Amino acid sequence: MGNLCGLLSPEPVKSARPTSSSKARPPSPPSVIASLSNRWSKLRSSSSSSRKDNRSIQEQALAAAIILQHRRQNGKSTPVDRSSSLRYTSPSGPKKQGLPRSCSSRARSVTDPLLQPHQLLNQDVKLDELETNHLVLVHGGGFGAWCWYKTIALLEEAGFKVMPIDLTGSGFNSFDTSEVTSISQYVKPLTDHLEKLANDEKVILVGHDFGGTCISYAMELFPSKITKAVFIAAAMLRNGQSTLDMWSQQAASNDLMQKAQIFLYANGKDQPPTAIDLDKSFLSDLLFNQSPAKDVALAAVSMRPIPFKPVLEKLSLSDVNYGSVRRFYIETPEDNAISVELQDNMIKLNPPERVFRLKGADHSPFFSKPQALHKLLVEISKIHPLDQVLEKDGLG
């Protein structure tokens, strides 16, 4: 995650929270789920009030998190409140021109337009003509599968098969974050999923933030099972780089990051840190500066520390494996966690096939721009390899 750049700060960490073991959360009984569901519905129906107090927002977010957990445990669908995607964007100054952008990254209105899934999915799209309609969503550092709840609903309603992953020690995964000691251990839920796929089944990997490192690791192991990789405000590393190597490029210029980070020392202060947490008072400005209040509240009760050692690990990426997977990058210009300059630098040094700029998006576009993000994911899923396009046009 972008806050990890502060690890290079010459100042020692001012304070550290004592690490508590991350225990598994027991499934909620049906009566509790029903009660929470009813409470959530009532809270949602009153969301038009501009004077909703913080306590009500927190209760709504907590109920949403528990219902999402229940849904994932039982394989059931839960309606999503799309009104939460509305958000006014802040005026922004002129942006530095980088690589040519996709024509789909057009200027948008001050809100993320509320469209039905069939409108978001272009009329000429036929799911059975896609290379794959199976998307695997990989969260960033501190997040969990819960952060994709809007994206999951939009993609599933459009006919896609979606698998959100809880990485080890993240989301509802019960493992203690401080005990994650390698990238292979951290990414194991993702690699397990890919390993279990049928030989002829392929997926599109989508990685956010530190999830970019995770999908890169998986691309090296399972290139034949991955048709495309989409990096959303994510670490897009080169061979021999670690996530910390990348984040360190903005360490001196991001004071907000350094203020937000809290090192955790499960093995004692005389040993290296085992994880990094975020000061909740900085979350809104750092990660969700364009996102709805209810999603910030959901994150505040759901985010977990980031394991330290995987951030330090350098990846071994080959042209034969990692390099054979088609890569796409989605930039987030209103990002306070990973600057646009850093995103542009990653793109310049390790060019993907295409770059999209999601205007008005903060570091968490699945909250701040869910409709526009969905549209881009659908568009990327439609892009066929050049040889197939030429053959279709009679030029191959």
Q: How far is CA 177 from CA 173, 205, 352, 365, in A?
A: 9, 23, 31, 25
Residue 50 has pLDDT above 60, yes or no: no
Domain assignment present for residue 226? The answer is: yes
Domain assignment present for residue 36? The answer is: no
Domain assignment present for residue 14? The answer is: no
At residue 255, the pLDDT reads: 80
Residue 118 has pLDDT above 60, yes or no: no
Residue 89 has pLDDT above 70, yes or no: no
Domain assignment present for residue 183? The answer is: yes
Cβ-count burial of 268 within 10 angstroms (0-12 exposed, 13-18 middle, 19+ buried)? Answer: exposed
Question: Helical H runs in 222-292?
Answer: 243-247, 255-260, 283-287
Structure tokens at 250: 């903005």
Active site residue ranges: 209, 335, 363
Q: How far is CA 28 from CA 36, 67, 125, 297, in A?
A: 10, 9, 40, 20
Kindly report the backbone phi and psi dihedral angles of residue 63, in degrees, each rounded to the nearest multiple of 5, phi listed first.
-60, -40
Distance of alpha carbon 191 from alpha carbon 185, whole angstroms: 10
Residue 390 has pLDDT above 80, yes or no: no
Distance of alpha carbon 363 from alpha carbon 250, whole angstroms: 15
Q: Are 307 and 277 in contact (CB under 8 A)?
A: no
Q: What is the mean pLDDT of the chain?
A: 78
Domain assignment present for residue 95? The answer is: no
Domain assignment present for residue 207? The answer is: yes
At residue 247, the pLDDT reads: 83
| Predicted structure pTM score | 0.74
Q: 26-35, 81-90, 258-267, 268-277: lowest mean pLDDT where? A: 81-90
**Residue range(s) defining the domain that contains residue 237:** 119-384
Residue 360 has pLDDT above 70, yes or no: yes
- CATH number where 138 lies: 3.40.50.1820
At residue 237, the pLDDT reads: 96
Distance of alpha carbon 13 from alpha carbon 17, whole angstroms: 11
Domain assignment present for residue 256? The answer is: yes
Residue 328 has pLDDT above 60, yes or no: yes
| 115: confidence class by pLDDT, cuts 50, 70, 90 | low
User: Into how many domains does the chain fold?
Assistant: 1
At residue 248, the pLDDT reads: 84
Q: Are 134 and 165 in contact (CB under 8 A)?
A: no
At residue 16, the pLDDT reads: 38
Average pLDDT over residues 63-69: 54
Question: Helical H runs in the chain?
Answer: 30-45, 54-74, 117-120, 149-157, 183-186, 188-195, 211-221, 243-247, 255-260, 283-287, 293-302, 309-312, 340-349, 365-368, 370-382, 386-392
Distance of alpha carbon 25 from alpha carbon 346, whole angstroms: 38
Q: Are 381 and 161 in contact (CB under 8 A)?
A: no
Residue 113 has pLDDT above 60, yes or no: no
Average pLDDT over residues 117-130: 61
Q: Are 346 and 247 in contact (CB under 8 A)?
A: no
* Rg of the chain in Å (alpha carbons): 20
Sequence length of the chain is: 396
Residue 82 has pLDDT above 50, yes or no: no
Domain assignment present for residue 249? The answer is: yes
Question: Percentage of the chain with pLDDT > 70?
Answer: 65
Q: Could you tell me which residue, 57 or 21, shows the higher pLDDT?
A: 57
- The closest of 143, 168, 145 to 299, measured between CA atoms, is 143
Per-position DSSP letters for 33-90, written without gaps between them:
HHHHHHHHHHHHHTTT-TT--HHHHHHHHHHHHHHHHHHHHHT------GGGG--PPP
Residue 318 has pLDDT above 60, yes or no: yes
Distance of alpha carbon 177 from alpha carbon 304, whole angstroms: 8
Residue 153 has pLDDT above 70, yes or no: yes
